[in-house]
Structure 1
Amino acid sequence: MKQLSILAFLFLLVPAANAELTAFNRWVNLKPTTYRFEHRPSERSHPVIVGDILYYATLNGDIFALHRIQGNVLWHRNIGAPIDGAFSYGRSKLFVGDTRGNLYALEARNGDVVWQKKVSSQWLTPPVQVGSRLFAMTSAHELYAYSERKGEELWQYARHGDEKMTIRGTATPVVFGSEIYQGFADGYMVALSMETGKLRWEKKLRQRARFYDVDTTPYVDAEKLITGTYDGSLYSLDRQTGDIQWRLPVGSYGGVLVENNRLFFSGLDKNVYSVDAVSGKVLWKTPFNKGVGMAPSLVRGGLVVPTSADPLYVLDPETGKILWTERLGTGTTSPASVHQDGWFYCLSNYGQLYAFEMVERPHRDKAWGTLKTLSAIYRENGGTIESTATASGSGT
């Protein structure tokens, strides 16, 4: 009789053809963070991925560089003031603004200061580096252009309307071609010359008497600009003239995602929307429980939607079906940061960084192929097993 050569269970795991998506929490950076604020903090800084390094910043003024797969800290520094959304990367530098008006360029490899500027207002949105220029928007509705290399001021554009109360936060400037597009708290969207800051066009979007901020970072392509307002509208504008192409009566705080002429965004009415980007027609909407939805992201075919009051959602972008949820404990006030390999990262409102990996999960009714035990295989072979076999797999 031949020797029995398999000494453990053999699992033959055959993925189903029609798989759903799920996400695994791979690691969490639980570095203790002490906040001294009257109300619960809202971490609005968006983690930045550069190769296998992930950078993020917190309201405590901490900046971390981590290995994005392993989660180990490569370097850390504290700038001594809260960082509330003004955090980005470009040309081997981190650009960081704080709530005391300091704007820094730091060496991405070690956090050393390259240059520093000071203004009288706060920095609340990521600076944008394009070529040799850096564009940054302040809480006082001032858009600055600096030289990326030395921080020299090149031009400034400001709008000071009659708004008495505004929503905290500002839209991130977007550059397309030779123009820069920016929303303002007075309810206007403007197009400026990237070189000079000269106004090309402006469009009034506000519909009501207060809280009409245009704080949604716009999506821009060759034909159109899509942006949302806090007073309850989403607009598609002609990129060259600012003329309105369509309007959807749903406001948005987070940004929008456009993929293959389909628009995804989180509405202030607590619904995630899929919209035809050409016509403005709603394709589907899915409600979420509470809080404010952030800008969606696509990860391996799943639509990741963070919310300010939990949970984090993964939706089917075709149907809006909820595929997976996860609680971060305090929610998040920034979009997910996404890598093309299926990993994505979320910074909770208490400064804890979560790493997830999106994977395919077969449907429960077709979860796996045959699951065979050692005794079953032994019986099928007439009491003998002729060769050693190995197989591996995992699933939930």
Structure 2
Amino acid sequence: MHKVLKRVLAVAVAVSVLSGCASEVDSIQMAPLPKVDNTFTPKTDWSRSVGNGVSGYYSKLTPVVGLDKVYVADRDGLIEALNPANGKVEWETDLEKDSSALLTGGLVLGDGKLFVGTANAKVIALDAETGKEVWRTTVAGEVLSKPLVSDGLVVVNTSLGVLQALDAETGASKWQVSNEVPTLTLRGDSSPVAVSGGVFWGLANGRLAGALMSDGRMLWQQSIAAPKGSTEIDRLVDVDASPVIDGDRLYAVGYNGSLVSIDLRSGQIAWKRNYSSATDFVIDGSELFLVTAKDHIVAVDARSGTELWQNTDLQYRQLSAPAVIDGYLVVGDAEGYLHWLDTQSGEFVSQESVDGSGIAVPPVALDDNGFIVVTRDGEINKMQIPQ
């Protein structure tokens, strides 16, 4: 089983086991908790728990909001639909059956269904209104990232390097594209994204790929990172962060690689900057916010690639992907803190301890106000910033 620490740390541990050298691990130290004078303190409206959460395992089960519900899940297969106003359970489904469901990729809403992938190479569809299982399909490898729901298809990127499309109504396989996976890779995979009849996703070999949504025919591949250096870690080039489409641009970042902006009309790289990351990033307006492999938080002008600011005070605190909520940038860390930053300056504006088990996925904004925070032990908190 794969315990998750943080991608960089987990890889260092793996390499030290392979080489018999502990120096890689010894060089990584979590930064102390920065001192912050809070300009606001989010209040908690309600709390509850969902099963056992994900514990220390690699399961990026991000809550999803829609259809007047908040959908949450734990790794063992418990999925709940909650009333966002009070946390009341609208329905509950346990997918465990004969053994642990090992939920790892999701959750995603689409076509009136809720989709989730598993470490047992399954994709499961539930009726979003009732929680009843609609179908369950075996795919070519673990599903560690969120599926994509588009054009009547559910598209998953598996750990074996296979992009596979399933019929959203029946779960039947429609097409698949296979790519070679290097011997040693990071634990994680890129979630696919779609626009204008194309699907785009990151590969473990350092490339970004594009294919036709209709039949999976390859359109192009673009190099984001190339193996270099003498150590195993230096030669890892996974593109695990999900690409982001914003207007006429496609953005992607690679581990030991680059952050790139690609013109969707020409397929050419508009700009490239030297940032290494395997964590999802976010674009808000003209600004792109990225958590690097060292857990430095960086703001970049999305149109030019110019760095606007960089905050290094949370180095190796095993940060979640960033989110923008109520005009602030927020990340969670392995000790269960939420760190709020001013989007213009990168300075801290608030810090709050939520749960000591840690926060692996970013907070999710609700449709009206407030946001949902999920901790590793399955605690669900509905919070909001006082106005």
After TM superposition, the score normalised by the length of structure 2 is: 0.82
> Residue in 2 aligned with 1:329?
356
Question: In the TM superposition, what are the counterparts of 1:57-136 in structure 2 within 5 Å?
Answer: 57-80=73-96, 81-136=101-156
Distance 2:223 2:292 in 1: 21
Is 1:267 matched up with 2:292? yes
3-state SS of 1:94 partner: strand
Distance change >3 Å, CA 138–CA 263, structure 1 → 2? same
Aligned residues: 338
Aligned-pair identity in percent equals 27
**How far is 1:233 from its partner?**
2.4
Using the TM superposition, give the Cα deviation of residue 116 of structure 1 relative to its aligned residue in structure 2, in angstroms.
1.5
5+ long unaligned stretches in structure 2: 1-37, 229-234
* 2:155 corresponds to 1:139: no
Q: Work out which of the two has the higher radius of gyration on C-alpha atoms and give 1 or 2.
A: 1
The alignment status of 1:23 with 2:42, answered yes or no, reads: yes
1:273-321 per-residue CA deviation (whole Å, 9 max, x = no partner) reads 1111111111111232533333322222111222344421111111112
Change (3 A) 1:343 1:34: closer
1:176-213 CA-partner distances (Å, limit 9, x unpaired): 11111111111110111111111111112223342210
Q: 1:236 aligned to 2:261?
A: yes
Of residues 164, 167, 170 in structure 1, which corresponds to 2:183? Answer: 164
Kindly provide the CA deviation profile for residues 335-392 of structure 1, in whole angstroms up to 9, marking residues without a partner as x: 22112433111221222222211233xxxxxxxxxxxxxxxxxxxxxxxxxxxxxxxx
Give the conservation status (yes or no) of the 8 Å contact 1:304–1:312: yes
* Aligned counterpart for 1:295 among listed residues 310, 318, 321: 321
Cα distance change, pair 24–34 in 1 and its aligned pair in 2 (3 A)? closer
Equivalent residue number for residue 385 of structure 1: none
State which of 362, 375, 382 in structure 2 corresponds to 1:348.
Answer: 375
Matched position secondary structure for 2:381: strand
Aligned partner of 2:208 in structure 1 is 189
Question: What's the secondary structure of 1:318's corresponding residue?
Answer: coil
Distance, in Å, in 2 between the alignment partners of 1:231 and 1:130 is 31
CA distances 1:186-243 after superposition (whole Å, capped 9, x unpaired): 1110111111111111112223342210011111134321111122421222224443
Change over 3 Å in CA distance of 1:232–1:214 after alignment to 2: same
- Whichever residue aligns with residue 295 of structure 1, its letter is A
- What is the rounded CA distance, in whole Å, between the counterparts of 1:193 and 1:178 in structure 2? 6
Contact 1:345-1:355 within 8 A present in 2 as well: yes
User: What SS does the corresponding residue of 2:386 show, helix, strand or coil?
Assistant: strand
| Cα distance change of structure 1 residues 31 and 126 upon mapping to structure 2, 3 Å threshold | closer
Change (3 A) 1:247 1:292: farther
Residue number among 63, 68, 73 corresponding to 1:52 in the alignment: 68
2:104·2:118 contact (CA, 8 Å) conserved in 1?
A: yes
Give the deviation of 1:149 after TM superposition: 1.1
How far is the alpha carbon of 1:269 from its aligned partner?
A: 2.3
> CA separation of 1:357/1:68 partners in 2, compared to 1, >3 Å: closer, same or farther?
same
- Residue 227 (structure 2) pairs with residue 208 (structure 1): yes
Aligned to 2:343: 317
Q: Deviations over 1:50-94 (max 9, x none)?
A: 143110111122111111221122222221211112321112211
CA distance in 2, matches of 1:119, 1:141: 11
Whether contact under 8 Å (1:299, 1:340) holds in the other structure is no
TM-score by length of 1: 0.80
Gaps of 5+ in 1: 1-18, 361-396
Deviation beyond 3 Å, 4+ runs, structure 1: 19-22
Corresponding residue for residue 304 of structure 1? 330
In structure 1, the residue matched to 2:5 is none
